Amino acid sequence: MGTNQGVSLKPCDDHSLNQSKDHLIDLLAKTMDNRFGDVSYGILRAMRITNFRYWPEADRNANFGDSDVQELITHF
């Protein structure tokens, strides 16, 4: 057993280490989902213009992305 910056450290078994890692990954995924999960409005929605899958066929929608570009301009 050792100490680091005044915190007592003790070894753990593989099971405890794996549980801690799984818990950390779950918390990180939940936090990322809370922050970036809803891309249906605002700046995250406007960023869809950077993905070619969202682009319409040529000449089908002359004003595609206009509002998204304006949203990005306003944001930045």
For 21-44, what is each residue's pLDDT tens digit?
999 999 999 998 888 777 777 888
> Is it the case that residue 1 has pLDDT exceeding 80?
no
Domain ranges of the chain: 13-75
Give the phi and the psi of residue 39 in degrees, each rounded to 5: -105, 25
Tokens of 57: 């066929």
Question: pTM for this structure?
Answer: 0.47
Tokens of 43: 């700046």
Give the pLDDT of residue 20: 93
**pLDDT mean across residues, the chain:** 86
- Rg of the Cα trace of the chain? 23
Which of residues 60 and 31 earns the better pLDDT score? 31
Give the percent of the chain with pLDDT over 70. 95
51: left (phi over 0), alpha (psi -120 to 50) or beta: beta
- Residue 18 contacts residue 28 (beta carbons within 8 Å): no
